[in-house]
Every structure is written in structure tokens, then in C-alpha cells.
């Protein structure tokens, strides 16, 4: 098989070379290889049908690693050897041929030449330079060698990449830092090796995030050479030079040194800082909190397990399995983009420390995909006849919204069942807390669902479990609430913008001045957090609007009515109120029951019951006014349509997505009802029960706008 494979790839390489020479005469040479990439990427899977059984072939894989002075690389090499032993025990591979030493580009080129001389079947390379190895890697591809860049993405025709999205990885922590600083402050940056592929991608990501926060000033940037001691020295220098420092961004082992420098200096006001997903850092963070409880950090795992996962992918490709290119991403569409192993914040630091039990301090939080899990990246036999199973996780049932949502999910799913695409939904739905919803998700994973639609009950509490689902190859979509979990898609309206619409209406209705109260949902719930942030942002523009009080109505009509009754008694000078969802019905009922001399103006809900109540209220007080911005349950069945299209192999057009991490299908609201179109809203309710929320579910044709 290897000889035929090499001959096949040599033909492809020759065609690429000829095409390059021809195009060079009349067009930019950079365009020549592009038409040939698909052929080259399919070469490893071209011959297996006519070859001898795969069991007769034993493959040799080479490793090129140019940097050994890091615990990451030590863990990486150990895991590569361990995973390769699994395949050796199956008679599929020989011992790894490892070229590993601290060296420069010329030295790594020699490593690659050595591996080619030893006739390896595949090379896993952790590159030390963005472009310096390209010619040598192309030479390896032309010899019929499968080449995979691990941990760093290269844009070399025919070379696959396996790793996390380094840019998105850095953006996650940079965005956390910017938000932690309230969007303003003075920070420093400690980077790795300038010019190294991972460092280039990361620093570009950080710069992109900070560009959105013009009030954050970067005082200085220096290299810590991905070394703990150097990172500590650089941070010590920064602390001396910039006593007004309020934050710092760094990466990998340098984060340990940076925090050690802060703890040693113990300034009056500690800068907030970015950490690392390593046990040593998490323990140091815990210790730092004993010195300064106000210190905060984030640790986004850059896990070494991407390399042994790359080894698994290499073995499967060598055995002739065909890559499902619809599952790949990256700059040239040849990247296996893996989800992160963990994102640790103060809210789940205890979980991170629990992961470290029994592990050495140098251990990096990790995840190696199993051989079964990497099958998600390969074409399945008779995939067109496969039926998919989607699971639903819903932690709150005491609301008409959720009832309508579940009914619509079942109804839309039946369309796909009738087409032979879907099985019945697996629904986990109950009033429960974070621990209970984690159990719901575990139950769905145990039932081997292909996708999970989750309506999350907490902003961060489910993150680790959702990452676990992603690592099992399950598509995860958060519906109705946006989560910032790498790899998790979101489908819903913009909850913050939704709330700002009604808050802006109220502020203008009050002519920019007055006394208001707020009735919120469950504090800490993702949607409530986003909404209240939006309301606060609007009211900040109106200094003459005073918020007298805020209380939770628990997204419950009766509770909302009681809270509003209390507010009316406590604040007779109230001129307006902002609330949301079913609580708006209770709030207006309380106003109508109290019938004060001057009614406060209030925000309503896009539900038929509210619109009818509003109409009734006008018969009591024609001066009352309201607004109803629909938060429609149809976002969830729309999310179900998106899930099935993704499961069928359609590729998402990420240029159409938005949100905090660029993974959100942001849907328009179904309706905005004011006094000007109240009659139209009531017309939408004809033939509908009072509990019906004004709604819109995108058709399958309409969701195609989000796919390439």
C-alpha cells in the first residue's frame, strides 16, 4: 500500500509542479497550488479498496520536535509514546522514530530530512517557524509521506493540521481580562517566541480583542521565551516600571512566573492576570487568593493531547480511511480543529484543582481523543442512510415559554423523522439546578446522541460537561442563551439587545427622568445576566433616571405580581418599571389592582395574555403605555434545524455568525409591539391560547443562509 500511495502522491506533486510553472508565466505563483489541494488531501484514502488487508501493513511514524525545554513538550512526547503503544499492541505501528531537541529552523529541517531518510510513513511535526519548514514539508508530501502539523497551524498544501484554534484560545482569555477590567486600564503582555506559529496566532487574537476596548492601554510587550523563570523576571521588571499596572496577559508556563512575581512584589493593588491550565498554576492561584482575595484569573487549557490525537488521525489515514473534509477548518481547510480540554475561572477553580488530584504539578489539563472519537472526522459507510438522534437538556419547566419550546421541538423533529433523517428526540426536562443539568447532559451522552440542544441554567457551570460532549464528537448548541464555550454554537436572539430595546423605550417614554424599579429573572442565569447588563447600559445614558430597587420575580407571574405590589406600596413616587417575560403579566395585574392615582409606565411581554391585559388596562387608564418585545421560543426548533443540517455534513458559513466568540446564529426577534401596532399583535393572537408567545420558526430553506 505504501508504494502505491507514494506513486499516487508523486503524480499529484508532479502535476502541482507543472501547474505552478505554467501559471508562473501569466499569474501570481501563490495561486498555482490551490486547484490541486483537494486531490492531494484525498490521496491517503485513494487506494485501500484494491490493496491487501490493512492488517498486513505495519506503519512507522516519525516525530519532529524542536523545543524540549518545556513541560508541555515533555507531556506531549510521553503521551505520543503511550498512544503509539496501543497501535503497536494491535500490530498497526512500529516504535516511533523521534527527533526531539532544542534547535532552530535549520536544525528542524535536518530532523525532517532524518525522518525521510528512515522511510517513515507519516510525520507529525510541531513546527518552530511559520514558513521556514515549508519546502521540506512539501518534499515529504511529494515522497508520499503523510504530514501532519500538530499544535500549530501551517498553510502548506497537502499538510494537515491538528490542534486547537490558537487564535481563538488567546481571544478567550484576552476577552475575559478586558471584561474583568471593565473595559479600561493599563496592561502589559508577555509573549512566547516572536515568529513562532502559535505565538503569532495568539498575539493576533489578543490584538483583535483589545482593539474592541479603546480604553485599555498596552504599556509594553516583551518575550518570556515560554520559560517560567524568564516570565517571572519580565513581570518583575514590568511591576517596577509600571506601578499603575491593572492587568497582564501572558501564556503557558510564563503565567506561573508572572504570578510568582506579583506575589513576591505584593503591590497595594494587584493586577488581574491570565494564567495557564497547569496544576502548578492552579495551586499557585489558590495560594494567591490567601494573600489577596480580590485577585482573579483564568486558565484556558492548551492541552498536549492534541498531538497524540493527531497520531490517532494519522494511523486512521494510513489505514486508508477517507477524511470527511466538511469537518475540517483552518485557513486552507485542512485543519482538524479540536475543542479545548478545559476553561478554568474562579467559578470552577475547585473543579480544576480536582482534576489535578494525583497529578504532578507540571501536569497540563488534558484530553486525548479516543480512536472511536476521532472517527467523527472520517467518512462513514452508507452515511446517507444514517438516522440522527438529538438530545434536549432543559432545566426549567415552570414557564409557558419552555412548554411552547418543547412542543415546537417535537413538532419540528417529526418533519425530519418523516424524511428518514431523525429518530425521536431524547428529552431531559425538569426543574433542576446546575448539578441536575449536568446529570441531564451526562444522561444524553450515555444514550449516544449525535447532537445536544441545551437551554443552559448557568453561565459557566456547564462548561466542563459541554467540552466533554464536544470531545466525544457530539455537536452542542446552546439555545435561547449565549454561552462563551469554544466549540459550542449558540442559536437565539441577542438577549442584551432584546432588553435594551424595551429599556430604551421606557427611558424615552419617561423623557429621560424618573424613578423606576426592576423585576429580574433568576440572577446568574445567562439570559438574565445579558438582559440586566443591557438595561444597565441603557440607563447609564440617562443619569436622571433613578433605579429605586431591583428584585427577582423568578420568571413567574405570581411572584412578579407580589414583587410589584410590594414596590407600589414602598415607592409611591414610582414612574416606571422594567421587567421581562411572564413577570410582566403579574406586574401589570398588580398595577391594575392597586390602581394608583398615577400609573407607572411599564415594559411588557410578547405573549397573547399580556397583549389582552394591556388592552384591558387601557379601558381603566388610557394614559398607560407599554411595549412587548417578543422573546420567541421558535429559536430552539430553529436550532434543531441547524443541528440536523450540520449532522448531514453541511458546512457552517462562519462569516454569518456573531456573538462573543463568533459562534452564534443571531436570530431577529419575532415581533416588537407598541401602542402603534397593538391591534396587529392582537390579530396574531386570534385562535391562539392566552399562553402563546408571538413566534417565528425558520424553515429548513431559511436556515440554509447560514451554510456554505
Mean model confidence pLDDT for the chain:
90
- Beta bridge partners, 475, equal 451
pLDDT digits (tens, 9 = 90+) for 477-529: 999 888 888 889 999 999 999 999 999 999 999 999 999 999 999 998 888 99
Phi-psi region of 402 (alpha: psi -120 to 50; beta: other; left: phi over 0): alpha
Calculate Rg over the CA atoms of the chain.
Answer: 28
**pLDDT surpassing 50 at residue 5:** no
Q: What would the mean pLDDT of 420-433 be, rounded to a whole number?
A: 96
pLDDT digits (tens, 9 = 90+) for 132-173: 999 999 999 999 999 999 998 998 999 999 999 999 999 999
| Cβ-Cβ contacts under 8 Å for 202 (sequence gap 6 or more) | 166, 167, 169, 170, 191, 192, 251
d(CA 534, CA 505): 13
**pLDDT surpassing 70 at residue 72:** yes
pLDDT digits (tens, 9 = 90+) for 27-48: 333 233 333 333 333 333 333 3
What does the pLDDT read at residue 6? 40
Any idea what DSSP says for residue 513? E
d(CA 544, CA 281): 46
Q: What does the block give as the cell for 431?
A: 426543574
Q: Backbone phi, then psi, for 376, in 5-degree steps? A: -60, -20
**pLDDT surpassing 70 at residue 606:** yes
**pLDDT surpassing 90 at residue 629:** yes
Q: Cell 454554537 appears where? A: 489
If residue 681 lies in a helix (H) or strand (E), which one and from where to where?
A: helix 678-684
Closest-CA residue to 299 (of 351, 337, 232, 369): 351
Cβ 205 vs Cβ 168: under 8 Å: yes
pLDDT digits (tens, 9 = 90+) for 295-354: 999 999 989 999 999 999 999 999 999 999 889 988 888 999 999 999 999 999 999 999
pLDDT digits (tens, 9 = 90+) for 173-228: 999 999 999 999 999 999 999 988 889 999 999 999 999 999 999 999 999 999 99
Any idea what DSSP says for residue 92? S
**Burial class (CB within 10 angstroms; exposed 0-12, middle 13-18, buried 19+) of 530:** buried
What does the pLDDT read at residue 258? 98
Phi-psi region of 420 (alpha: psi -120 to 50; beta: other; left: phi over 0): left
Please measure the distance between the N-terminal and C-terminal CA atoms of the chain and give it in whole angstroms. 35
Which runs of consecutive H residues, i.e. helices, occur in 546-647? 557-570, 583-594, 608-620, 635-647
What does the pLDDT read at residue 56? 54
d(CA 118, CA 136): 15
Closest-CA residue to 133 (of 119, 162, 153, 117): 153
pLDDT digits (tens, 9 = 90+) for 242-297: 999 999 999 999 999 999 999 999 999 999 999 999 999 999 999 999 999 999 99
**Burial class (CB within 10 angstroms; exposed 0-12, middle 13-18, buried 19+) of 302:** buried
Q: What would the mean pLDDT of 410-422 be, rounded to a whole number?
A: 95
Q: What would the mean pLDDT of 618-632 be, rounded to a whole number?
A: 96
Q: What angle do CA 590, 591, 594 make, to 5 degrees?
A: 85
What does the pLDDT read at residue 36? 32
- Beta bridge partners, 64, equal 99, 125
Which runs of consecutive H residues, i.e. helices, occur in 266-399? 279-291, 306-318, 349-355, 371-374
405: three-class secondary structure by DSSP = helix
Neighbour-count burial for 341-366, b at 16+ CB within 10 Å, e otherwise: bbbbbeebbeebeebbeeeeeebbbb
d(CA 678, CA 684): 10
| Cβ-Cβ contacts under 8 Å for 14 (sequence gap 6 or more) | none
What does the pLDDT read at residue 348? 93
Q: What would the mean pLDDT of 594-614 be, rounded to a whole number?
A: 97
What is the per-residue DSSP string for 242-299? -TT--EEE--TTHHHHHHHHHHHH--SSPPEEE--SBHHHHHHHHHHHHH-TT--EEE
**pLDDT surpassing 50 at residue 8:** no
Q: Backbone phi, then psi, for 7, in 5-degree steps? A: -60, -40
Domains, the chain, in order of start with CATH, read: 2-163+305-326 (3.40.50.2300), 166-300 (3.40.50.2300), 382-493+634-667+697-706 (3.40.50.2300), 495-629 (3.40.50.2300)
Helix 254-265 vs helix 228-241: angle between axes, to the nearest 10 degrees?
A: 40
pLDDT confidence band for 49 (50 / 70 / 90)? very low
| Cα dihedral across residues 590, 593, 597, 601: positive or negative | positive
Q: What would the mean pLDDT of 558-568 be, rounded to a whole number?
A: 97
Amino acid at each position: 500500500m505504501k508504494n502505491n500511495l507514494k506513486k499516487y502522491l508523486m503524480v499529484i506533486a508532479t502535476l502541482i509542479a507543472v501547474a505552478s510553472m505554467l501559471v508562473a508565466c501569466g499569474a501570481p505563483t501563490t495561486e498555482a497550488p490551490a486547484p490541486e489541494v483537494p486531490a492531494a488531501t484525498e490521496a491517503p484514502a485513494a487506494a485501500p479498496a484494491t490493496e491487501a488487508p490493512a492488517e498486513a501493513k505495519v506503519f512507522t511514524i516519525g516525530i519532529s520536535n524542536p523545543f524540549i525545554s518545556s513541560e508541555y513538550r515533555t507531556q506531549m512526547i510521553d503521551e505520543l509514546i503511550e498512544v503509539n503503544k496501543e497501535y503497536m499492541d494491535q500490530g498497526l505501528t512500529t516504535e516511533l522514530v523521534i527527533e526531539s531537541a532544542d534547535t532552530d529552523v535549520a536544525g528542524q529541517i535536518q530532523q525532517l530530512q532524518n525522518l525521510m531518510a528512515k522511510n517513515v510513513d507519516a510525520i507529525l511535526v510541531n513546527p518552530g517557524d511559520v514558513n521556514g519548514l515549508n519546502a521540506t514539508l512539501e518534499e515529504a508530501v511529494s515522497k508520499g509521506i503523510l504530514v501532519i502539523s500538530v499544535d500549530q497551524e501551517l498553510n502548506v498544501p497537502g499538510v494537515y493540521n491538528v490542534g486547537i484554534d490558537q487564535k481563538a484560545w488567546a481571544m478567550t482569555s484576552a476577552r475575559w481580562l478586558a471584561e474583568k477590567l471593565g473595559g479600561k486600564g493599563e496592561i502589559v503582555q508577555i509573549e512566547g517566541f516572536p515568529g513562532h506559529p502559535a505565538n503569532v496566532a495568539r498575539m493576533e487574537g489578543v490584538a483583535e480583542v483589545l482593539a474592541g476596548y479603546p480604553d485599555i492601554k498596552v504599556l509594553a510587550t516583551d518575550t518570556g521565551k515560554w520559560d517560567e523563570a524568564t516570565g517571572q523576571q519580565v513581570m518583575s521588571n514590568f511591576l517596577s516600571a509600571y506601578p499603575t499596572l491593572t492587568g497582564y496577559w501572558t501564556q503557558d508556563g510564563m503565567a506561573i512566573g508572572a504570578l510568582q512575581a506579583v506575589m513576591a512584589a505584593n503591590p497595594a493593588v494587584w493586577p488581574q492576570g491570565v494564567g495557564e491550565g497547569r496544576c502548578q498554576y492552579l495551586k499557585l492561584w489558590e495560594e494567591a487568593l490567601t494573600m489577596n482575595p480580590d485577585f482573579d484569573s483564568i486558565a484556558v487549557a492548551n492541552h498536549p493531547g492534541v498531538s497524540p490525537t493527531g497520531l490517532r488521525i494519522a494511523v486512521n489515514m494510513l489505514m486508508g480511511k477517507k477524511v470527511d473534509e466538511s469537518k475540517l477548518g483552518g485557513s486552507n481547510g485542512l485543519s482538524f480543529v479540536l475543542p479545548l480540554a478545559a476553561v478554568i475561572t474562579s467559578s470552577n477553580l475547585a473543579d480544576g484543582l480536582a482534576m489535578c488530584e494525583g497529578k504532578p504539578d507540571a501536569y497540563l489539563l488534558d484530553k486525548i481523543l479516543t480512536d472511536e472519537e476521532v472517527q467523527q472526522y472520517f467518512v462513514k459507510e452508507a452515511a446517507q442512510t444514517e438516522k440522527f438522534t438529538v438530545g434536549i437538556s432543559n432545566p426549567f419547566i415552570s414557564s409557558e415559554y419552555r412548554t411552547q419550546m418543547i412542543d415546537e421541538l417535537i413538532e419540528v423533529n417529526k418533519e425530519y423523522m418523516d424524511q428518514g433523517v431523525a429518530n425521536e428526540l431524547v428529552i431531559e426536562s425538569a426543574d433542576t439546578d446546575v448539578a441536575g443539568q449536568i446529570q441531564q447532559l451526562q444522561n444524553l451522552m450515555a444514550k449516544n446522541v449525535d447532537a445536544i440542544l441545551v437551554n443552559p441554567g448557568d453561565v459557566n457551570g456547564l462548561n466542563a460537561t459541554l467540552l466533554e460532549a464536544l470531545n466525544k464528537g457530539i455537536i452542542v448548541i446552546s439555545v435561547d442563551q449565549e454561552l462563551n464555550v469554544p466549540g459550542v454554537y449558540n442559536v437565539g436572539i441577542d438577549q442584551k439587545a432584546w432588553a435594551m430595546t424595551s429599556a430604551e423605550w421606557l427611558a424615552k417614554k419617561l423623557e429621560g427622568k424618573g424613578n423606576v424599579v426592576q423585576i429580574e429573572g433568576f440572577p446568574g442565569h445567562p439570559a438574565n445576566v445579558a438582559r440586566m447588563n443591557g438595561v444597565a447600559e441603557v440607563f447609564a445614558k440617562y443619569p436622571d433616571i433613578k433605579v429605586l430597587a431591583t428584585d427577582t420575580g423568578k420568571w413567574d407571574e405570581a411572584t412578579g405580581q407580589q414583587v410589584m405590589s410590594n414596590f407600589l406600596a414602598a415607592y409611591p413616587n414610582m414612574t416606571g418599571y422594567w421587567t421581562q417575560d411572564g413577570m410582566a403579566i403579574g406586574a401589570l395585574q398588580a398595577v391594575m389592582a392597586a390602581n394608583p392615582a398615577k400609573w407607572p409606565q411599564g415594559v411588557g411581554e410578547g405573549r397573547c395574555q399580556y397583549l389582552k391585559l394591556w388592552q384591558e388596562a387601557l379601558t381603566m387608564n388610557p394614559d398607560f403605555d407599554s411595549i412587548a418585545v417578543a422573546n420567541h421560543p421558535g429559536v430552539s426548533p430553529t436550532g434543531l434545524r441547524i443541528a440536523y443540517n450540520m449532522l448531514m455534513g453541511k458546512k457552517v458559513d462562519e462569516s454569518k455568525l456573531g456573538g462573543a466568540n463568533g459562534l452564534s446564529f443571531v436570530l431577529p426577534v419575532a415581533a416588537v409591539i407598541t401602542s402603534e401596532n397593538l391591534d396587529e399583535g392582537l390579530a396574531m393572537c386570534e385562535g391562539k391560547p392566552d399562553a402563546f408567545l408571538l413566534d417565528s420558526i425558520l424553515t429548513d430553506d431559511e436556515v440554509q443562509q447560514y451554510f456554505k
